[in-house]
């Protein structure tokens, strides 16, 4: 029995409920951020530019694998993003035949604008937390996500 006298299976159910709420909230905020980025595009396009913003230039195959999207969808979305001036294609410096995708300056600024609104929701929720509480939350979440610090 745990020290708070709640059965472990009940605690696990409550954890599942809270994780589901977090995932649902994050998804809703991602859809909202995607619409702010460019409402004419599918949210999946924002997923791609968000990845490029976070991790930098890459090729289409790696982008598809990293975002768990099929190559044809990535190719179609990249063409749209390129036509709108958000993404550029360049010849790979390492391999003259390869193509590297990256955000344009305009694409980077649009991602930043969309993320500011999304992040403000989370920052508002944390605004009355003490620094020690926030630090503890980060450490526990990092541990839960499988990272050891």
* pLDDT tens string 18-59: 999 999 999 999 999 999 999 999 999 999 999 999 999 999
Q: How many domains does the chain have?
A: 1
Q: What is the pLDDT of residue 145?
A: 87
* Measured distance CA(149)–CA(137) in Å, rounded: 14
Q: What is the pLDDT of residue 4?
A: 81
Specify if 107 maps to a domain: yes
Specify if 52 maps to a domain: yes
The parent domain of residue 84 ranges over 8-118
Q: What is the pLDDT of residue 149?
A: 60
pLDDT score of 5 more than 70: yes
Specify if 18 maps to a domain: yes
- What CATH number should be reported for the domain holding residue 36? 1.10.10.10
Specify if 37 maps to a domain: yes
**Quick one: average pLDDT of 4-19?**
93
Specify if 91 maps to a domain: yes
Specify if 147 maps to a domain: no
Q: What is the pLDDT of residue 2?
A: 57
CA distances from 26 to 19, 20, 21, 130, 139 (A): 10, 10, 8, 23, 19
Specify if 145 maps to a domain: no
* pLDDT tens string 62-111: 999 999 999 999 999 999 999 999 999 998 777 777 899 999 999 999 99
**Quick one: average pLDDT of 2-17?**
89
Specify if 135 maps to a domain: no
* Measured distance CA(7)–CA(61) in Å, rounded: 46
Tell me the whole-structure pTM to 2 decimals. 0.78
């Amino acid at each position: 029995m745990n020290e708070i006298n709640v059965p472990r299976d009940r605690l696990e159910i409550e954890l599942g409920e809270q994780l589901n709420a977090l995932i649902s909230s994050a998804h809703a905020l991602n859809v909202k951020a995607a619409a702010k980025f460019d409402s004419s595009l599918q949210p999946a396009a924002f997923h791609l530019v968000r990845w490029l913003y976070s991790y930098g230039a890459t090729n289409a195959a790696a982008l598809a694998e990293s975002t768990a999207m099929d190559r044809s969808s990535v190719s179609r979305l990249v063409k749209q993003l390129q036509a709108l001036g958000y993404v550029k294609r360049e010849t790979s410096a390492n391999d003259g035949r390869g193509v590297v995708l990256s955000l344009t300056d305009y694409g980077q600024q649009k991602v930043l604008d969309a993320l500011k609104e999304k992040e403000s929701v989370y920052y508002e929720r944390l605004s009355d937390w003490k620094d020690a509480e926030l630090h503890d939350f980060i450490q526990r979440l990092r541990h839960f996500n499988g990272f050891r610090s």
